[in-house]
A and B are shown apart, each in its own frame.
Chain A
Amino acid sequence: MRIDGRGRIDRTRPVTFRFDGRVFAGYKGDTLASALIANDVRVVGRSFKYHRPRGILTAGSEEPNALVEIVGPANQTPNTRATVQELFEGLVARSQNRWPSLRFDALEVNDLAAPFLSAGFYYKTFMWPRRFWEGLYEPVIRRAAGLGSLSGRHDEGVYEKAWAHCDLLVIGAGPAGLMAALTAARAGADVILADESSEPGGRLLSDDAVIDGLSGADWVAQVLAELASLPNVRLMTRTTVTGVYDDGTYGALERVGLHRRPRPNLPRECFWRIVAKRSVLAAGALERGIAFQDNDRPGVMLASSLPAYLNRYGVVPGQKVTLFANNDSVRATARSLMAAGVTVAAIIDPREDAPDEPGITVHKGAQVKRARGRMGLREVLVRVGGREITVETDCLGVSGGWNPSLHLTCHMNGRPRWSDDLAAFVPVEGAVPGMLVAGAANGSFSTHGCLAAGTQAARASLEALGVTVGQADLPQADDAPYRIAPLWAVPGKGRAWLDFANDVTVKDVTQSAQEGFRSVEHMKRYTTQGMAPDQGKNSNVAALAVLADATGRGIPETGTTTFRPPFAPVSIAAMGAGGRGEGFAPQRFLTSDQASRDRGAPMVEAGLWYRPGYFPKPGERTWREACDREVRMVRSSVGVTDVSTLGKIDIQGPDAGRFLDFVYTNTFSTLPVGKVRYGLMLREDGHVLDDGTCARLGQDHWLMTTTTAAAGLVMRHLEFVSQAFCAGWQVRFVSVTEAWAQFAVAGPLARDLVASALGHAPDLPFMGCAHVVVQGIAGRLFRISFSGEEGYELAVPTRYGEALFRDLTARAETMGGGLYGMEALNVLRIEKGFITHAEIHGRTTAFDIGMEKMVSGKKDCIGKAAAARPGMTGPAREQMVGLVPLTDDVLTAGAHLFAQGVDLTREHSAGYVTSVGYSPTLQSHLALGFLQNGRARHGETVRLVDRLRGVDVLCRVSDPVFHDPKGEKLRA
C-alpha cells in the first residue's frame, strides 16, 4: 500500500513493470520489492526445500525470500534480490522455484512430507538399488532443488573491471561512514566512500534520527554536498565491498547498469580492485528475527524494514501492523507508522519489564507462538502470561536484536567475539590489518555513537599514515542505550524457521545435535544452515544459540562459523570481465600473419602465438595434400617459413660463455665467433628443460634461441641462475624475441634463395652465423636447419619482417619453391628425428632422448647432479625410438606400445607414441615414441595400439632419424 507524502521516490515519474506476467505501476526510486508492496503483492517466491509461499522479509541485500529472475532481452538473471533491484521502465521479473505457478506449486507437497525430509534424511536413504541413484533419485532431487534458472545461452552482457587506489576506504555511508569520510576528506586524504545502496545515508534515510536539529535525510544531504565539493573524495554508490584480501586490497562490485533499461554498450556491473592504505568498516548492523511456529508466512518481516519501506519508498506492507521485539528498537518504528496513519495493533515484548508506549497496546512478557495465513498473514497467536490470545494482523515486524555487519573482518580469518551485553558477535580489533570498525558494525548502535566512532576511526587511520587531523565539532544526536533480552526461538510445537532460504528449522538443529553433529561446523554442514544465498546473515546467530542450548553449552563455547568472501554474491561475469571470447589470454601475431592469412593459411594457436598450419593451393582438398606438397617442396627445391616465435635471448658480457656453460649441458665457451651450436638445457631436477641453438655473434655477444613453448620459462630460469648463483659475473641478457623477425629457408635451393635475397652468395659453413645486410637492412644469417635440408635462418628487425617475408616468398616461388606451414615443418622434423616438446614433455631425461653424452663430464651444469640419480637412466626407462609401420596404416600419437603376444594391460604397456606424420619422402607413416629399453630394440617388431581410436598396427622399431641419417644434406 502506498502512503501519500512519504518516501524518496519520484512521484512525477511513474514506471510500469511486469511480475509473473502481470503489469504493475511504481515510481522511479522504487525497488522491485517496494513496488510489489505498493501493489499489495504478498507472495513473491517459494522456499528451497518445502516450496512454502514466501513474502518479502527485509529491505536489503540480505533478503532470503524475495529472489526473482529478471528477464532481459537475451538472458534472465536468476536469484535477484527484489529488495535491491531498482525499478526501471519495462522491467520484467518472474518468480522462481515453482511449477506451474507461484500460486499453485506442485512441489508444495514437500511441505506435507516434511516429517520425512528432516535434516540429513538423504544420507540415510536412496541407496538401493544402486543404479537408481543416477537414474532416478538424483535427477528428481536435482530438479526439485536449485532456485532460479540460467537461460543456457551465452551471457552477452557488458562487464568491466577496474582498479582504484586511495588513502582511506570507507565502507558504508551511514552516520559512521559519512563522518569518517568527512573527517578524512577535510584533512586532505584521498578517500573512497563506498555504499551498497543507490543513495548514501544508510539508516538515516529510514529512521527518525535528528542530527544538529536536522532530519537525518537533510543532514545526509548537507554532508554529501560538502563531500562533493572536495576533489579528493570519490563517492561510489551501488557499490558493495565484497571481499578483503591481503595488504589493503579490497574487491568491490558496482552495479553500473542494473537499474537502467538494458542498452547495448551499457555495462551491467564493474568489479573494482581497490587498494587502500587504510580502511574504515562502517557497514552498520543487520536485524535478526525470532523463530516461532510458521514464522515464515508472507507478511512476517524484519521490523526495521518497515520504516525503511515507509520513509524511503512511501509504502507499508500491511494496514494493521503488529510488532514483536525483544529490544527497544521497534518503538520508534511504531511511532513512525502511526504518524503515517498505519494502525499498530500491538507490540509484543517478551520482557516483563518492557517500557510502555503511549497509544499502543504493549503485551509484556509475551511471545508470538504462531503465525497464521498460508498465502499472507492473517493473525498471530500470542502467549501472554499463562493465556493465549489471537491478534488479527496482516503484517508482523519482528526484531530479535541486531548483529553488527562484521563479515568483512572475518575474511582474513579473524574470529569475532561474543558480547553478552549486545547478545551478538562483535569484531575483534586488528582482525584485518589497517582496518578499523566503526559505528553499528562495531556494536555502537546510537546515532551519536556512530557519528563519534566514525570521526574517531578516520582520525586514527590518518594518524597512522602520518596525517594530523584537526579538531572538529561532533554533530549532536541521540545517544539512547541499547537494551535487549535475548530470545532466539519461542518454545512450542510445529516448525519454527531459522534459515528461511534453505528451510532449516529449530527442529533440524536440535536433531543434528541429537545425532552427534554437535560442532557448529557439523551442524551447519548437516542441516545446510547458513549455506543459502544469504549465507546465514539472517539466521546464523540464532541457529548457533539453538545449538548451544541443545548441547548445553554457552554461545562462546559453541563457536561460530566463518564468513568468507564475497559479502554479497557477485556474478561470475563481473569478476570474470574481460575473459569472454578472445580476451582470455593475450594474442601474439607474427609479422607475416596477414601475408599468411592472405594465402588462405589456417592460423593455429601455438601457445599465445598464431602460426600458419599450411598454405593450401587450388585443387587441394585436404590439409594432408597441402602438407605432403610442402614437404616434397622443401626436400626438392626450397621452402620458407616464419620461425619468429622461437624465443631469442641476447646475451652479452665477458662471462657470457662461462654462463652458457653453466646453463647448458654442453660446452659453449670454446665456440668460435661466427659459429652456432645446438645446446641442451636441464632443469635442476635433471629432466630436460629445453633445447635450441646458441650463436656466438661476437667475442662477448651471443644469441640464444629457445623453443616457442619454453621461451618465457627459459628467460626466467636464466635470470634465476644469474642472480642467484652468478653474483659478480659480467653477463647481461635480454629477451629480443619480439625485436627480430626470423625466417627459415630450407631445401636444396636454399643457398640460391638466400643469395638472391642478399645479392651475394652466403659464405657460411654448416652451423655458421654472420651479420649481413639484407637489401640495405642490417640483419643476421644463421646456417641451421630443423628440416634436415641445407637451411638458413635470416633475421631482420621486426618492422621489416612482413616485407622480407613477402620478398622471400616471391623469390622462392620463382624458383619452384614456396611457403610451408606448421604441419610440414612437423613432418620434416619427424623425418629427421628432431625433438619438440611432444618428446621433451617434462618427464624425459637426456638419457631418454639419447643425449646423455651431451652432458659434459668436465664441468658443472644445472641439473647435472640430479640427472645422476639411479632412476634417471637405465634399461627400465622408456627411450626415444622411431617407429615404422609394417603396413601402410595411419599411426596415432597417444597410442601405447606392446610387445607382440602380450595382453593389452597396463602391466604390459612398454611405451607410447609422441609424434606421428606421413612422410612423403619415405612414403610411409612414421612415428616417434618412447619404448622401454628402446635403443637396444632397434629392428624389433612391436604392437602400436590406440584403443580409443581402434588403431592396432605392427611397427618396426628404428633409430629416430629416418631421413639422411648421416646429415650429408645439412652439410652440403
Chain B
Amino acid sequence: MRLTCPLCGPRDRREFYYSGDAVLLARPATDAPPGAWDDYLHNRDNPAGVTQDLWYHEQGCCSWLKVTRNTVTHEILSVESVAGTSTAGGAA
C-alpha cells in the first residue's frame, strides 16, 4: 500500500501512522452535549466503501493527512493535508 504525500510524493505505507476516521477533525466544543462527544470519540459510520481517514507521515514530513479511500478495494482516491481543513475551530 502506498500513499502519495502532498509534500513528499508516493511513499510506502510503513512510513505512515494511522489514527482512524477523519471525523476526528470535527472536534465538538467542550460544552457540547455528551452525545456529540460520544459520537466524536467512539461511534463510526465505518463504511464498506469510500471513507475518509487520518494518516500521519511520521517517517516523513510529519504532516497529518486526510485520505479518501475505499475500505473494500483499498483504492486511494485522494490525499490532502489536514492543516486548515478542520470543520470546527477546536481551541477557543
The reply, when asked whether chain A contacts chain B directly with Cβ atoms under 8 A, is yes
Closest to A248 in B: B2
CA distance A701 to B92 in the complex (A): 22
Please determine whether B56 and A719 come into contact, CB atoms closer than 8 angstroms. Answer: yes
Q: Is the CB of A684 within 8 A of B41?
A: yes
- Which residues from chain A contact B58 at a C-beta distance below 8 Å? 716
**Given the complex, which residues of A lie within 8 Å of B32, measured CB to CB?**
865
Tell me if A726 counts as interface (CB < 8 A to partner B): yes
| A716 with B17: CB separation less than 8 A | yes
B82 surroundings in chain A (CB, below 8 A): 723-724
Decide yes or no whether B89 CB sits under 8 A from chain A. yes
Contact among B41, B64, B76, B88 for A866, CB-based, below 8 A = B41
Contact, CB under 8 Å: A865 / B30:
yes
Taking a contact as CB atoms under 8 Å apart, the answer to whether B76 and A247 are in contact is yes
Judge whether B91 and A860 touch: CB under 8 Å.
yes
Interface: A132 (CB within 8 A) = no
| CB-CB contacts below 8 Å: A648-664 with B | 658-659, 661-662
> Which DSSP category, helix, strand, loop or mixed, fits chain B's interface?
loop
Q: Which residue of chain A has its CB nearest to the CB of B2?
A: A247
**In the complex, B9 has a CB within 8 A of chain A:** no
- Give the Cβ gap from A679 to chain B, nearest Cβ, in Å: 16
Chain B residues contacting A248 (CB-CB under 8 Å) are 2
Q: Which residues of B contact A412 (CB under 8 A)?
A: 73-74
On chain A, the residues within 8 Å of B1 by CB distance are: 245-247, 249
Chain A, 368-415, CB within 8 A of any chain B CB: 412
Q: Contacts A249-B1, A719-B64, A723-B83 hold; do A865 and B91 have CB atoms under 8 A apart?
A: no
How far is A273 from B86 in the complex, measured between Cα atoms in Å? 36
Contact partner of B83 (CB less than 8 A), chosen from A246, A662, A716, A727, is: A727
Interface: A275 (CB within 8 A): yes
Cross-interface CB contact of B34 among A247, A724, A869, cutoff 8 Å: A869
- Pairwise interchain contact B30-A860, C-beta atoms closer than 8 A: yes
Interface string of A632-666 (1 = CB under 8 A from B): 00000000000000000000000000110110000
Q: Can you report 10 A-B residue pairs in the complex whose CB atoms are below 8 A from each other?
A: A245-B1, A246-B13, A248-B2, A273-B12, A661-B91, A716-B58, A724-B90, A725-B89, A726-B91, A865-B31
Of the candidates B12, B63, B73, B90, the one whose C-beta lies within 8 Å of that of A725 is B90
Q: Which residue of A lies closest to B63 (CB)?
A: A723
Given contacts A412-B73, A860-B92, 9 further A-B contacts (CB under 8 A): A247-B76, A275-B2, A723-B82, A724-B83, A725-B88, A727-B83, A859-B92, A864-B30, A865-B28
Does A685 sit at the interface, judged by CB under 8 A?
Answer: yes
On whether the beta carbons of A725 and B2 are closer than 8 Å, the reply is no
Q: Is the CB–CB distance between A685 and B41 below 8 Å?
A: yes
Quote the shortest CB–CB distance from B27 to chain A (angstroms): 6
- Answer yes or no: B50 CB below 8 A from chain A CBs: no
A720 at the interface (CB under 8 A from B): yes
With A658-B91, A725-B89, A860-B91 as known contacts, state yes or no: A246 contacts B81, CB within 8 Å.
no
- A433 CB–B CB distance under 8 Å: yes
Q: Nearest A residue to B62 by beta-carbon distance? A: A719
Min CB distance, A719 to chain B, in Å? Answer: 5
Q: A275-B2, A719-B56 are in contact. Are A725 and B91 (CB under 8 A)?
A: yes
| Identity of the chain B residue whose Cβ is nearest the Cβ of A659 in the assembled complex | B91
Which B39-92 residues have C-beta < 8 A from chain A? 41, 54, 56, 58, 62-64, 73-76, 81-84, 86, 88-92
Contact B56–A720 (Cβ < 8 Å): yes
> Once bound together, how far apart are the Cα atoms of A270 and B76, in whole Å?
29
Interchain nearest-CB distance for A277 vs B (Å):
10
CA gap between A658 and B92 in the complex, in Å:
10
Q: Which residues of A contact B89 (CB under 8 A)?
A: 725
Give how many A residues have a beta carbon under 8 Å from the other chain's beta carbons: 31
A275–B30 Cα gap in the complex (Å)?
A: 46
Q: Which residues of A contact B90 (CB under 8 A)?
A: 662, 721, 724-726
Q: CA–CA, A860 to B83, complex, Å?
A: 20
**1/0 per position for B4-15, CB-CB distance to A under 8 A?**
000000101100
B91 touches A716 (CB 8 A): no
In the complex, A646→B60 CA distance in Å?
22
A728 contact set on B, CB distance < 8 A: 84
Nearest CB in chain B to that of A661: its residue? B91
Closest to A859 in B: B92
Q: Indicate the member of B29, B30, B81 with the most A CB atoms within 10 Å.
A: B30
User: A728 CA to B74 CA in the complex, in Å?
Assistant: 33
Q: Which residues of A contact B73 (CB under 8 A)?
A: 412
In the complex, chain A residues whose CB is within 8 Å of the CB of B12: 249, 273, 275
A724: which of B30, B64, B76 is its contact (CB, 8 Å)?
A: B64
Q: Across the interface, do A246 and B64 meet the contact criterion of CB distance under 8 Å? A: no
Complex-state Cα separation, A661 to B92, whole angstroms: 11
CA distance A865 to B31 in the complex (A): 7
Of all chain B residues, the one with the shortest Cβ separation from A728 is B84
Complex CA–CA separation, A720 to B20 (angstroms): 12
Chain A residue with the shortest CB-CB distance to B3: A247
Set of chain B residues within 8 Å of A716, measured between Cβ atoms = 17, 56, 58
Q: Which residue of A lies closest to B25 (CB)?
A: A724
Cβ A727 vs Cβ B86 within 8 A: yes
Residues of chain B within 8 A (CB-CB) of A727 are 83-84, 86
Please tell me if the beta carbons of A725 and B34 are within 8 angstroms of each other in the complex: no
Across the interface, which residues of B come within 8 angstroms of A866, CB to CB?
37, 41
Known: A720-B19, A723-B83, A869-B34. A246 touches B91 (CB 8 A): no
CA distance A685 to B10 in the complex (A): 33
User: How many whole Å from B28's CB to the nearest CB in chain A?
Assistant: 7
Determine whether the beta carbon of A433 is less than 8 Å from that of B41. no
> Chain B residue with minimal CB distance to A662?
B91
Q: Hey, which chain B residues are within 8 Å of A275, CB to CB?
A: 2, 12
Q: Which residue of A lies closest to B22 (CB)?
A: A724
Give Cα A721–Cα B83 distance, bound, in whole angstroms: 10
A724 CA / B19 CA spacing, docked (Å): 13
Give the distance in Å from the alpha carbon of A659 to the alpha carbon of B54 in the complex: 21
B84 to A, closest residue via Cβ: A727
B74: which A residues are within 8 A, CB to CB? 246-247, 412
Smallest CB-CB separation from B19: which chain A residue?
A720
* Chain B positions within 8 Å of A723 at CB level: 63-64, 81-83
What 4 A-B pairs are tightest by C-beta distance, nearest first?
A725-B90, A246-B1, A247-B2, A662-B91
Among A658, A661, A716, max chain B CB count under 10 A is at: A716
| Interchain CA distance A433-B1 in the complex, whole Å | 12
User: Which residues of the partner chain A approach B24 to less than 8 Å between Cβ atoms?
Assistant: 724
Q: Which of A810-845 contact B (CB under 8 A)?
A: none
Q: Is A249's CB under 8 angstroms from B2's CB?
A: yes
A528 to B64, CA, bound (A): 46
Contacts of A245 in B (CB 8 A): 1
| Smallest Cβ-Cβ distance to B81: which chain A residue | A723
Contacts of B28 in A (CB 8 A): 865
Q: How far is the CA of A659 from the CA of B34 in the complex (A)?
A: 25
Min distance, Cβ A166 to any Cβ of chain B, angstroms: 14
Q: Which residue of A lies closest to B37 (CB)?
A: A865
Q: Pick from A245, A659, A723, A726 the residue with the most CB of B within 10 Å.
A: A723
Q: How far is the CA of A720 from the CA of B2 in the complex (A)?
A: 21
Chain A: CB-nearest residue to B89? A725
Q: Which of A679-711 contact B (CB under 8 A)?
A: 684-685
> Chain A residues with Cβ under 8 A from B41's Cβ?
684-685, 866
- Across the two chains, which residue of chain A brings its CB closest to B86? A724
Across the interface, do B2 and A246 meet the contact criterion of CB distance under 8 Å?
yes
